[in-house]
Structure 1
Amino acid sequence: MGKGLRQDAGMLLVYVLLGIGALISIYPFYWMFTASTLTEGDIFKTSSAWLPGGNFLENLRGLESSMPVWRALLNSLIVSGVTTISTVFLSALAGYAFAKFSFKGREILFFLVLMTMMIPAQVTLVPLFIIMMKLEWINTYYALILPNMVTGFGVFLMRQQMMGFPDELIESARMDGSSEFGTFLRIVLPTMKPACAALGIVTFMNQWGNFLWPLVAVNDKEMLTLPLMLSMMVAPGNVVKYGEVMAGSVIGLVPIIILFLFFRKYFVSGAFSGSVKG
């Protein structure tokens, strides 16, 4: 076998393995979409579970009658949206300060920021709950949003991006009389769109699927987020209606898909362009 034939065979094997991996990754989502369109009796039948049915609207109506699905969707959108915007902006602001300003204790403060990434979320649950309870913020958006308004990962990522920004442009803006905050908003931040988009996607996905903290901070049905609502539907002791659960899961997946498709061109470049800087 010639060298060219061996290379072609190797590439074919790689594509086959990648195709199998892609099918394995996609199948759970396909099953979820299919199950949301089937009746309860057909979901686990081998003969019908592969093909979509026509029961999606019926499953959705059943979900609406048993759970406040649209309120939960709105709660998730508000919490995830506000958290994402605040995380991107505050992380960019902190990253700019760490990258472009020299001040006493800068390295120590940045080290402390990195240390927060190593603390498991479970460790902070009880202190956070006590704080929220003392402030009377349980069952409010304050409790769901404020503890997650900025992250150590976001500060680290934006700092790495800011390290590569030319100091000459900042000095030129200062000489023209621009304030530091004005320089950040008008000159620095617009050039960080790929990094902001990458951080925004990661933050939104994390918050959209966040279950543990809302479980602690919320017990009012009107303040449920979508993951919390779905978990209640499959709680022990309940009669699980899988068609309704899958319909709710499909609704919950749509905003993630839209967000990723809208910002996909920024994601890879924003996540990795600053990884070798600093």
Structure 2
Amino acid sequence: MSATAHKTAPNAQDIRARKGGVPLVSLTAYTTPMARLMDGHCDFVLVGDSVGMVLHGLSSTLGVTMEMMILHGQAVARGLDRAMLVIDMPFGSYEESPAQAFRNAARLMAETGAGAVKLEGGVEMAETIRFLVKRGIPVMAHVGLTPQSINTLGGYKVQGRDDQAQAVLADAHAVADAGAFSVVLEKVPATLADRITAEVAIPTIGIGASAGCDGQILVVDDMLGFFAAFKPKFVKRYADLGPMAGAAIAEYAAEVRARDFPAAEHVFADQAPVKGAKA
């Protein structure tokens, strides 16, 4: 394939087939411009329910709605040509029953063009995952720290240490056996993540897990330094754009107050010059 040839976006089966191969690359996106920046670099892009905290100022992901996910999903879809679009199912949209999950998953995919949905939960969600997959909904699972369950987990704590390891391992096996095409492992010990990666037949996507996972994902605003409310241990800041943006805004404000902006080159003359006219 030439460097200019168009690359078709992968689908769920393409992602599944990457098990044990070159690590999968993923980031979250919530807007068209950001999606365009990562398209071509990422294998899949996730519209995460973290949008509630990152863009809407919520204290957790629990207040995110279907309408919010659809709005941001549509925006991200407009920026992608070569990466697969995956979209989170928000809290309360799938836990009640497999039928409820199917209705909402089908709506998310139909209205955004996403190639798959992601939902949280392990053993307790296996029946729902199986129900969705049998009806044509590709599912990315999410075990370990599941942010939608922070009230029962007691906060954003590492999951799978000591006597918890078997439960997280069982969750990973359950979602793989139910038909998920991949599974996100969030905030689990590296040794446990490596064991899960070795034992399950689907790709593992790490976030605060292990470099041995089959892929990695980060919240883009975290790794670019835009979101500074807190910095998890597992986030590497590849840039610190937040302070740069703040400095630029401060400079703009100072120039406006000093009447240095707009300057002559930023305003329009009373009459535009006529092309070809002699001086």
The higher radius of gyration belongs to 1
Higher helix content, 1 or 2: 1
* TM-score normalised by the chain length of structure 1: 0.23
- What TM-score does the superposition give when structure 2 sets the normalisation length? 0.23
